[in-house]
Amino acid sequence: MARKDFDPETVRPDGRPAAKGPLYDASGDGPWRGNIPGELLGGPVTVLAYGNDTPGAGPRLHVHPYDETFIVIAGRARFFVGDEVIEAGAGEVVLGPKGVPHRFVNIGPGRLQTIDIHHAPRWIQTDLD
């Protein structure tokens, strides 16, 4: 099915060039594989790569002044977003609204891999525990 969600004649390029940057070193260790700030690419979002092989492990409770979108690439996770508990697996997406404390853990079995999109040109976070 062909899509036509908007008229291309109504949108003008803003002059920014296409950009490329490293997200992570594929040979590296540790759960935080890397991140690329949107401001480095001239874009409005920052992208993080996270993964771990240990059920029960995950980032500490924290909060951002902007939304965060989590894409589960592999494995299963339990997200704690405010008072909500959401389980998500590979191919699913979870939203952490701005100002709402959140964290997630690997619920196994195996590796949890996520791509975390921070809806800001740079990563801003306050840890709460």
The mean pLDDT value for 35-58 works out to 94
What residues make up the domain containing 102? 47-112+116-120
- 84: CATH: 2.60.120.10
**Residue 40 falls inside a structural domain:** no
Number of structural domains in the chain = 1
- Model confidence, pTM: 0.88
**Residue 107 falls inside a structural domain:** yes
Which residue, 88, 94, 87, is CA-closest to 117?
94
How much of the chain, in percent, has pLDDT values that exceed 70?
100
**Residue 9 falls inside a structural domain:** no
**Residue 74 CB contacts under 8 Å (≥ 6 apart), including other chains:** 51, 90, 110, 111, 112, 113
The 10s digit of each residue's pLDDT in 53-84 is 999 999 999 999 999 999 999 999 999 999 99
The pLDDT of residue 2 is 87
**Residue 18 falls inside a structural domain:** no
